[in-house]
Structure 1
Amino acid sequence: MLKNVRSHESYLSFVVEQLDELYKDKAFLKTFYSEPIIWCSLIDLTDATMLLRHRYSSNPRGRKPRQPCDMLRSLMLMHYHHISSIDKWVYTLKTTPVLAVLSGFSPYNVPGVGTFYDFFNRLWLGSTPHLSNRNNRKLKKPRKKGKKNQKQEPKNPKIVEKLVKRALKNKDIKYTPKAHDQLQMIFQSLFVNKSATQGLLGDTMSLSILGDGSPVVTGGRPYGKFLCDCRKQGNWKCQCKRQFSDPDADYGWDSSREKYYYGRSLFMVTASDSPYDLPIYPRLYRASKHDSVLFVSTFHELKHWYSDWKISEVILDSALDAFPIYEMLEHYDVSAIIDLNPRRSKQFQHKQMDINLKGVPVCPIGREMIHWGLNQKTYRRKWRCPAVCGKWECPNPCSDSDYGRTFYTATKDNPRLFPRIKRDSKEWRKRYSLRTGVERCIKRQKVDYRLEDSRGRSSRHWNIRTYIIGMCQHADAWIKEAKKNNFVATNPIIQSFLSL
């Protein structure tokens, strides 16, 4: 039973007292641990206790549990120091008292490995660490390979259209609880909302988001563990049941490395106007699912979690260039900035007029018509004859009017051909250039924080690790903002740390 919740101010006082008692050489702390000290002082995790209270027993008997805010802070410090093993981290806490104190623990009373895994169960709402129970034969690696930088098409070509139709038809369907919901609640309440309040995500009432998928390799084996004695009898191709350490993983295509991998797909949603490329909603799926399928489900989950925000713009790469996605975004009054997929792009026709890949009407002699205004409310564009506007004589005029031929295109007619922001315009290029922000966010997860260094074998492990790293990304941004605004130099609490 949780009692006597410690405030952030009490935690800071505890750290000052413990460090003052343990370390007489203050220069050592300033040289090697000034950054982690400032980092922890800016992270207020007091509300984590309230969010996790229902995950603890209400029985006053028994051993007193560890404070959830201290356990969560310790996990963040573990990832901050690029340690992926709980066993190694517990050893580090016992041998490095300053890290134990910064976590909120007494250096003489550090939690054990089992305590951390018990805390994992409180963060994970699933009954087991896995989401499925695959016990059949091993998965076969697909033979058909894709090309470099080209993701493989979904097995069912109509799957995106079916998902979008189902979602738009059943608008009143309630959100289905997920095993990672507790992690998302903590991440959103303690980190995303705080960053939004500081203006680090842009305008939440007109939010522009980015989305992209990335492969995550698991530590499990696709072959599984044999539970039979068939191999002793010479049968190496038996169909008996096997035990899989990571039954939720499967094969996916890594287009950048041009090879198949066994694991998951991380679909990351970030704020495009964030100066620090901060994550909003990280989501893990099976590796075999295509990014276009992942985006449809992720977008609707995002609208559930951030129902009080207004998403006004979505910027995606050509892997998500599917007409149903444009229709879905237009239905929700969201501007779609999606690069055309060259494999699906060709000369189009609209109302018996040729349309090029830029979404510009082409007159009968092959010249692009001139853009002549936009209705901002209906996104209806007017196009005029290039000969009349350019004051040159057309060899084959298609109108007798002195004003020349006019043509109209509207986003509602074909949101893929005629997006709200004109393709290949200066504004389009400026907005689409922001798409690399989601790649930098994923790079922070996989390179800077070494997401794949862990050999985890469960959905619980990978979700907790992904969310904790996302929390660290927000904390890193807060430190940069504090230094930029000279908050570190003027804050008396931080000065008390540095003056130890």
Structure 2
Amino acid sequence: MAKRLFEDLVTRCQQEGIIEGSNVAIDSAALRAYEKKQPKRKSEQTGNANWGAKIDSFGNKITWFGYKIHLAVDTKSELPIALEVTPAHVNDGEMAPGLIEKTASRTSTRFFILDAGYDQMKVYEAARNVKAQAIIPLNLRGEKEPPAGMTSNGTPCCSMGYAMTYWGVDGDMHKFRCPHATGKVDCPLGMAACSSSNYGMVVKVNAKDDLRRYSIPHRDTKRWKELYNERTSVERCNSRLKTYLTADAAHVRGIQKVTTHQYLNAIVLLASALAVSHHSKRAAA
């Protein structure tokens, strides 16, 4: 019942222009359990609260016994569009494809924005399957060297080893130019080493060749960084659920009751946004 009401309110917020849904940020947050703590192996058998661990923004490892709330949030309104609750040990990347699919069924999302913890091929594929782009920083820990003649972010290198200059996109094709021709580097051989053209050497890369390494917009461009900065919207949504509501203070046991509790918190956010919108419209009338 709570889930149905939540979904109805999301639709209502969309109809009234509160939720846009073109850019959506996804992240998870820890929820401490009201249950008595148990060993990890025993907890995994119940499907309820379990032990979780993550690295915080300061690089510290934190652990907790309980659950995770996984949220998909509209970056413009900072309101939730979809949510899931899992035991704390469930990997974030396992939940992202489902949240992407749920969100896409309700909105026309162009970009899904996630942190480096979601840097998994299945997340990029899930976004592409709904005709959207995943904006995720590459997690280079443990990664092998990038393909020969390529930087880690998918930029081709010229014959002298310099990263080429990004020169825009045409459909799925990224265009890169000689860095000497564009004034980015002072190559000792000039442009002649790579091309006889005054325009300099040009390399085109199909973004579909590697959904993870290539992105539209291209990684490290101003537009890509602007989109990634919108990820903080989901952090603020999580903070409101915990600070002003009772997301992390649920006095109920079991994942079904905890999930209902989280839906009720999300319902309060959506209903409050609708109330503020109606009040503003009446005041302006």
TM-score by length of 2: 0.86
The one of 205, 229, 232 equivalent to 1:436 is 232
Partners of 2:280 and 2:238 lie apart in 1 by 24
Distance in 2 (CA, whole Å) between partners of 1:382 and 1:450 is: 49
Aligned counterpart, 2:53: 253
Cα 1:425–1:488 shift into 2, 3 Å: same
- Residues 102-121 of structure 1: matches in 2 within 5 Å? none
Q: In the alignment, is residue 330 of structure 1 matched against residue 149 of structure 2? A: no
User: Secondary structure of 1:409's match?
Assistant: strand
Corresponding position of 1:460: 256
Q: By how many angstroms is 1:312 displaced?
A: 2.0
Please give the alpha-carbon distance, in whole angstroms, between the structure 2 residues aligned to 1:348 and 1:243. Answer: 40
- The change in CA–CA distance for 1:243 and 1:418 in structure 2 (over 3 A counts) is closer
Contact kept, 8 Å, 1:215 with 1:254, in 2: the verdict is no
Q: 1:249 to 1:393 in 2, by over 3 A?
A: closer
The residue number in structure 1 matching 2:30 is 215
**Alignment length (residue pairs):** 276
Preserved contact between residue 104 and residue 130 of structure 2 (Cα < 8 Å): no
Deviations 1:165-208 (A, max 9, x none): xxxxxxxxxxxxxxxxxx3222111x111111121111x5xx22
Structure in which a larger fraction of residues adopt strand? 2
Query: CA 1:384–1:484 in 2, change beyond 3 Å: closer, same or farther?
Result: same
CA distance in 2, matches of 1:248, 1:488: 47
Summarize the alignment of residues 17-416 of structure 1 with structure 2, pairs less than 5 Å apart.
Answer: 123=1, 183-189=2-8, 191-202=9-20, 207-223=22-38, 248-256=48-56, 258-274=61-77, 277-303=78-104, 306=106, 309-344=107-142, 347-349=145-147, 352-357=148-153, 359-375=154-170, 378-390=171-183, 394-395=188-189, 397-402=192-197, 403-416=199-212
After superposition, the Cα gap between the structure-2 partners of 1:333 and 1:223, relative to the gap in structure 1 and judged at 3 Å, is closer
Query: Is contact 2:114–2:136 with CA below 8 Å preserved after alignment?
Result: yes
Given that 2:101 and 2:130 are in contact with CA atoms closer than 8 Å, whether structure 1 keeps it comes out as no
Q: Percent identity?
A: 22
* Distance of aligned partners of 1:385 and 1:288 in 2 relative to their CA distance in 1, 3 Å threshold: same
- Residue 303 of structure 1 and its aligned partner are, at CA, apart by 4.4
Conserved in 1, the CA contact under 8 Å of 2:28 and 2:70? Answer: yes
Give the counterpart letter for 2:13 in structure 1.
S
Q: Give the whole-Å Cα distance in 1 for the aligned partners of 2:159 and 2:195.
A: 15
- Listed as ranges, the gaps of 5+ residues in structure 1 are 1-122, 124-182, 225-241, 491-500
Look up the equivalent residue of 1:219 and give its one-letter code.
Answer: Y
Deviation at 1:400, TM superposition (A): 4.3
The 1:243/1:388 distance shift into structure 2, 3 A limit, reads closer
CA shift for structure 1 position 260 = 2.3
Which 5+ residue runs of structure 2 have no aligned equivalent?
Answer: none
Q: Deviations over 1:335-354 (max 9, x none)?
A: 111112241556522xx422
Distance 1:243 1:208, change over 3 A: closer
Query: 2-side partners of 1:327 and 1:283: how far apart?
Result: 20
Which whole-Å CA distance do the structure 2 matches of 1:243 and 1:446 have between them? Answer: 24
Who wins on radius of gyration, i.e. which is larger? 1
Per-residue CA deviation, residues 206-237 of structure 1 (Å, 9 max, x unaligned), is: x221110111111111349xxxxxxxxxxxxx
CA distance in structure 2 between the partners assigned to 1:453 and 1:197 by the alignment = 32
Deviations 1:8-39 (A, max 9, x none): xxxxxxxxxxxxxxxxxxxxxxxxxxxxxxxx
Q: Distance in 1 between matches of 2:278 and 2:54?
A: 38
SS of residue in 2 equivalent to 1:221? coil
How many Å separate the matches in 1 of 2:43 and 2:208? Answer: 52
TM-superposed deviation, 1:392: 5.9
- Closer, same or farther: CA 247–188 of 1 in aligned 2, 3 Å: closer
Instruction: Give distance in 1, aligned partners of 2:142 and 2:130.
Output: 24
